[in-house]
């Protein structure tokens, strides 16, 4: 019995990638089909880092192909390829950075910074080259959360080498000032400082740069959103009504400046008592789901109100590295793959494809 490429494609159209929610043909993950008599080789290329699920995808595809009559030996190769995607119109990408993911919240105290650092570490754990920029000039927390101290090096007195922690690159105003020095700056100075941190840091070939934005939706946040080439934004909230009110403002801010919303992360969804095991939704339920339905965005994941998340970040070893096989780390890695998959669906950046034309007077 002759096996055709059409049979292979038809089969692959019927199985769905759990991360993207799309079949491997529609998502253009299917790169090659080779048939030699009854032997079949299929190449799958995912647009997101997926180290922890590559084998699952390979098995899923192989099992589906085994159902085709006459198929003999099956070889499925699964790889990831992360490319640059375009940002807001008129903004050029940062050298050495393919994609920028902004992590924001409408208000403080919802676990935004813990989400940002664990998202960055989860993307790295899945195989991506990742950096994190602490954009909270008034209250930088990433040095503490990543256990980084000291001053970054400057090779030429103008640019800065990023610090390294747990396999990712990082930069923060907290590394350039004394820990107890208050930043009594007005908005324009804060904006300028952030742009300098972003542009003067020598980022080394990052697939993703996660930016931990300050809380709020004021003039500073809007200015930053207009001047930083952001690929997409993640909104962090808790289920309670007050937090959701502010989260909606943050979401609308990004919409106004043309930045895609990659999804919403709901923090502190459930709390389980460490003494009796009783579980209850201290901050309410269903808030993140309702917000996603209202704005047609994805709920990327829900995290519990767990003391370990706080303990891990306070100790400088966030949950993804402190307990990499724990349920919290698994949740963060699932969120990271979903975020990256949403990025892969966005418009690609073709700026490097076009030849630059320079006009000179005779």
Which residues carry a binding-site annotation for ATP?
106-113
Structure tokens at 315: 């100790």
Backbone angles phi, psi at 214, to 5 degrees: -65, 155
d(CA 226, CA 228): 6
236 vs 265: CA distance, rounded Å: 5
Q: 212: which 2 tokens?
A: 């931990």
Residue 223 CB-density burial (10 A; 0-12 exposed, 13-18 middle, 19+ buried): middle
Biggest alpha carbon distance in the chain?
84
Residues near 217 by beta carbon (within 8 Å), at least 6 away in sequence: 106, 246, 249, 250, 253
User: In angstroms, rounded to a whole number, what is the distance separating the alpha carbons of residues 114 and 240?
Assistant: 18
- Find the distance separating the first CA and the last CA of the chain, reported in whole Å: 70
CA distance 65 to 71: 8
- Binding site per annotation, positions: 106-113
């Amino acid at each position: 019995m002759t096996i055709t490429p059409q049979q292979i494609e038809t089969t692959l159209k019927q199985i769905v990638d759990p991360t993207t929610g799309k079949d491997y043909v529609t998502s253009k993950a299917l790169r090659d089909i080779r048939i030699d008599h009854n032997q079949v080789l299929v190449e799958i290329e995912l647009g997101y880092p997926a180290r922890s699920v590559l084998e699952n995808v390979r098995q899923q595809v192989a099992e589906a192909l085994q159902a085709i009559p006459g198929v003999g030996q099956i070889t499925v190769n699964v790889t990831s390829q992360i490319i640059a995607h375009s940002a807001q119109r008129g903004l050029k990408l940062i050298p050495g950075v393919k994609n920028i993911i902004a992590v924001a919240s409408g208000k403080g105290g919802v676990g935004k910074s813990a989400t940002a650092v664990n998202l960055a570490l989860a993307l790295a754990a899945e195989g991506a080259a990742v950096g994190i920029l602490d954009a909270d000039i008034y209250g930088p927390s990433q040095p503490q959360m990543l256990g980084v101290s000291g001053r970054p090096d400057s090779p030429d007195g103008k640019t800065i080498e990023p610090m390294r922690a747990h396999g990712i690159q990082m930069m923060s105003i907290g590394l350039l000032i004394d820990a107890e020095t208050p930043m009594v700056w007005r908005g324009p100075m804060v904006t300028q400082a952030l742009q300098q941190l972003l542009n003067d840091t020598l980022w080394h070939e990052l697939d993703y740069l996660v930016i931990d934005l300050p809380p709020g939706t004021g003039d500073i946040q809007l200015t930053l959103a207009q001047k930083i080439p952001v690929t997409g934004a993640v909104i962090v909230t808790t289920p309670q009504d007050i937090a959701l009110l502010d989260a909606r403002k943050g979401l609308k801010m990004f919409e106004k400046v043309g930045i895609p919303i990659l999804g919403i992360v709901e923090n502190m969804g459930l709390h389980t008592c460490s003494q009796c095991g009783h579980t209850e939704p201290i901050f309410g339920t269903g808030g993140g789901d309702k917000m996603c339905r209202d704005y047609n965005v994805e709920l990327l994941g829900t995290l519990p109100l767990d003391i370990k998340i706080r303990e891990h970040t306070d100790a400088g070893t966030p949950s993804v590295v402190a307990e990499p096989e724990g349920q919290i780390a698994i949740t963060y890695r699932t969120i990271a793959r979903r975020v990256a998959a949403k990025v892969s669906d966005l418009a690609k950046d073709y700026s490097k494809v076009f030849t630059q034309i320079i006009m000179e007077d005779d």
